[in-house]
Amino acid sequence: MATWSALNFQNAASPIMEELIFFHNHTMTIIILITTIVGYNIYTSVTNKGFEKTIIESEPLELFWTISPTLALMAIGLPSIKILYMMDETYNPMITLKTIAHQWYWSYEYSDFNNLEFDSYMVKKSENMNFYRLIETDNALVLPFNAQIRNLITSSDVLHSWTIPSAGVKADAVPGRLNQVNLNLNRTGVFYGQCSEICGANHSFMPIMLESISPQKFISWIKSMN
């Protein structure tokens, strides 16, 4: 989960988030390179007393100015298109989950398991020393890792946004419409998120708590819930 003074992303919990972190580092490398070159050229132009003011054109320089931005945009655009397709496509999901947003809590429905459903409210206080204030919920969303999961997201009232930064997923919950995200967790753990849409006065009090467990424990949990 996010911590104070953190300068980087949260640790990736899915292949999608790993690709997003790689793409971020890749893009920042290109941006830093361009900024360094442009800054150096500006500095040398200002400090160079022998600068030739009569030079008004240069075909090689104009060619460089035309080709280099094109190559930079291709280096950024091609990986981003690949990740967009990876995030959008869901191939043969093993589990279909439905997430419904309310003011101000979440409801989850496991339609593949005898319509198992429950609400998830923020926990106000706890005696547990490991309790995370304003981000713990009374009922965590439980999912198995190494499983293709399709999450259908909607809302019963106003716009909300379901987000798990560690998993690299974020989608708006729109009344009367179903949005879809692809989840494929690659490790166990508890991951947190919050509504990322300004949905009302208590917008900051509808957290998301996702617990990733092994498939065997998930089956046992499903049986205990039924």
Question: Which residue type, as a one-letter code, is found at position 116?
Answer: L
Name the domain count of the chain: 2
Whether 202 maps to a domain, the answer reads yes
Residues 138 and 82 in one domain: no
Q: How far apart are the first and last CA of the chain?
A: 30
Residues 117 and 64 in one domain: no
Q: What is the pLDDT of residue 46?
A: 80
Q: What is the pLDDT of residue 174?
A: 93
Cis peptide before 104 (omega within 30 of 0): yes
Q: What is the pLDDT of residue 128?
A: 60
CATH code, domain with 148 = 2.60.40.420
Q: Which residues of the chain have pLDDT under 50?
A: none
Q: What is the pLDDT of residue 53?
A: 64
DSSP string, 137-179: BSS-EEEESSS-EEEEEEESSS-EEEEEGGGTEEEEE-BT--E
Q: What is the pLDDT of residue 89?
A: 74
**pLDDT by residue (tens digit) across 163-216?**
999 999 999 999 999 999 989 999 999 999 999 988 888 888 999 999 999 999
Which pTM value belongs to this model?
Answer: 0.82
Q: What is the pLDDT of residue 80?
A: 92
Q: In what order do the strands lie in the sheet with 189-194?
A: 141-144, 207-213, 189-194
Residues 73 and 172 in one domain: no
Whether 109 maps to a domain, the answer reads yes
DSSP string, 9-72: PPPP-SHHHHHHHHHHHHHHHHHHHHHHHHHHHHHHHHH-TT--TT----HHHHHHHHHHHHHH
**CA-closest candidate to residue 224, choices 149, 159, 142, 132:** 142
Residue span of the structural domain in which 77 resides? 15-49+56-88
Residues 75 and 100 in one domain: no
